[in-house]
Amino acid sequence: MFLGAHVSVSKGYEYALKQALDINGTTMQFFTRNPRGSKAKALNMEDIKKSSLLAKEKGFGPFVAHAPYTLNLATYKEDLWEFAKDILKDDLERMGTVGVPYLVVHPGSHLGKGEEYAQNRIINALNSVIKGDEKTMVLLETMAGMGSEVGYTFQQLKAIIDGVDYPEKIGVCFDSCHLFAAGYDIKDNLDEVLSEFDKIIGISKLKAFHVNDSIFPIGSRKDRHANIGEGKIGLEALKRILTHTKLRHLPFILETPGGIDTYRKEISLLKDLIKKEESR
């Protein structure tokens, strides 16, 4: 199992990796650029080389990149749609250069145009960006279904994957808080949720997992992350996720509130629980 947290690469990849190692992480996630989508910093190849060497030496798991959350591939506003496609294209290329296998993207929001409109808009955007020779895979994140967000059901994600020219370049990233808020009972019926996903999309499409507790109850459609064990999902259920035979090979990323010291505590909390479970 690889367990890590969302860190910043604003001081470089090697710096971020050292921070990830310092909190006993074995993987990490970072924004491809400022989360609001401003211009990306030029890549420093020396820094990238150092970080990949160090990652290899430490047996670190795959890096996971996250696109700016302001991108909306579903928007009907032409200028914002073009902007989102340009950023996604640039980020995919840049992450390919860095050697990051996965780029997590929020599918988008329909802004009143309806879910089908949004799905088609997202499909068209992905088809204009992805040409089939990318080294980095786009992971559609499961959403809470807040506002007009799409991608909060497996059927919606399936419709998008079915519509693209290169489905082999698309995967899925689960987020425990979002799944729960969207109504998937990962707390008491994890097996059922996984077999539903397997039936609709295929479990092999699942490539990364955001581990967050949820402030709001199941089906609330509200995306508010809680600290590990302090929300409505709870420690036991999160432990079951991390140790599940169908999931435990994945990179697990914490996106909980509190910053680096909280991440350190939560990683050690989860690791201790898993150790206890495995020695039973």
Instruction: List residues bridging with 141 in a β-sheet.
Output: 173
Pick the closer one to Fe ion by CB: 169 or 210.
210
210 binds, among Zn ion, Fe ion, none (CB under 5 to 8 A by kind): Fe ion
33 binds, among Zn ion, Fe ion, none (CB under 5 to 8 A by kind): none
Stretch that binds Fe ion, among 45-53, 92-100, 135-143, 227-235 (CB under 5 A): 135-143
Q: Which of 14, 115, 149, 175 binds Fe ion (CB under 5 A)?
A: 175
Q: Which of 94, 121, 158, 210 binds Fe ion (CB under 5 A)?
A: 210
Does residue number 225 form part of the binding site for Fe ion (CB under 5 A)? no
Taking the CA atoms of residue 223, residue 104, residue 209 and residue 52 in that order, the dihedral angle to the nearest 10 degrees is -140
Residue 73 contacts residue 92 (beta carbons within 8 Å): no
> CA-CA distance, 10 to 31, in Å (whole number)?
9
> CA-CA distance, 251 to 173, in Å (whole number)?
10
Does residue number 266 form part of the binding site for Fe ion (CB under 5 A)? no
Residue 79 CB neighbours (<10 A): 8
With b for 16 or more beta-carbon neighbours within 10 A and e for fewer, the 165-189 pattern comes to eeeebbbbbbbbbbbbbbebebbee
The CB-of-250 to Zn ion minimum distance in angstroms stands at 17
For residue 204 the two structure tokens come to 């092999």
Nearest CA among 211, 180, 205 for reference residue 4: 211
Stretch that binds Fe ion, among 108-116, 128-136, 202-210, 216-224 (CB under 5 A): 202-210
Stretch that binds Fe ion, among 21-29, 81-89, 136-144, 185-193 (CB under 5 A): 136-144
213 binds, among Zn ion, Fe ion, none (CB under 5 to 8 A by kind): none
Residue 212 contacts residue 143 (beta carbons within 8 Å): no
Contact residues: Zn ion, CB under 5 A: 223
The CB-of-125 to Fe ion minimum distance in angstroms stands at 17
Stretch that binds Fe ion, among 152-160, 190-198, 208-216, 259-267 (CB under 5 A): 208-216
94 binds, among Fe ion, Zn ion, none (CB under 5 to 8 A by kind): none
For residue 123 the two structure tokens come to 């499909």
The residues that touch Fe ion, with contacts defined as CB under 5 A, are 141, 175, 210
